[in-house]
Amino acid sequence: MDDDKLIEEAARLISGAGRLVAFSGAGVSEESGIPTFRDPGGLWDRYNPSEIGSGDIFAEALSGSPIPDATFQFVSEFISCFEKTGPNPGHEALGRLEEMGILRAVITQNIDNLHREAGNSNVIEVHGNVYRLACMMCGNRVVLDRDEFLCAGRDLIECLGKNDLAGLIKLASRCNCGGVCRLDVVNFGEPVQDLPRAVLEAKNCDLMLILGTSGVVWPAATLPGHAKKAGAKLVEINATDCCFPDIIDVGIVGKTGVVLPRIVELVRGMR
């Protein structure tokens, strides 16, 4: 089946869906300029995670551990990406599907907040969100706006460049309980967030969109299987190859920012 026919079939399935859920990975945000972690040329291809540290800079500063040199370069690149990025047409297409009353939830492995910026309201972020802080003492969470996050990021880069541990500790936002906050993202060895809620959405959907994910990061990669086992149809859109070939009903090789807007326009005409 050629791409046009696949896109038409995907639109037909979405138009008839009663409980549509999207499951997105790093490939969706890569189209906004945010590098992936695991692909060739991605962050873990250029930075050795063991050389960066635990990933929790503030906890390391509190312990008095020296900040690895590689951490400065990693954080500088990371913040620079966020200064220049925004939702791409793929994110915006999902926002339109929610506006149309079709899309029920987005489950994402991305931490960049772009689904929310594009208008999705029910977003399950299994790896956390860089725009959110979590108190290391009581667990209270604080949401930052874009300007607050970028300002804190620039201050963080300055402290790292000077290896200023005292400055890092001062920079860490303090909770009302007196505890120090960290970015509310999942680091190596930590459990994912909101997994029971994500599994419930997967099991209760009648159609799942699988978007830009390699299908190798567990336990998130189990979610399409949960949906399929519960009887849902699966549509996968991936720029490189379909990663769930044994269980998908429609597989389209292409960028979500190109393919998904075409599908959404067809859906508009079908409803």
Please tell me which residue in 91, 115, 127, 226 is annotated as part of the active site: 127
Triad 44, 50, 56: Cα angle to 5°: 95
> What is the C-alpha separation between 158 and 154, in angstroms, rounded?
6
Token code pair at residue 24:
């997105």
Token code pair at residue 214:
């390699």
Residue 36 neighbours by CB distance under 10 Å: 19
> What is the C-alpha separation between 156 and 150, in angstroms, rounded?
10
Radius of gyration from C-alpha coordinates of the chain: 20
User: For 258, which DSSP code?
Assistant: H
**Residue 154: phi, psi to the nearest 5?**
-65, -40
Task: Decide if 226 is catalytic.
Answer: no
Of 207, 187, 59, 57, nearest to 128 by C-alpha is 187
Residue 48 neighbours by CB distance under 10 Å: 11
CB 191 within 8 A of CB 128: no
CB 134 within 8 A of CB 181: yes
Q: Which residues are catalytic?
A: 127
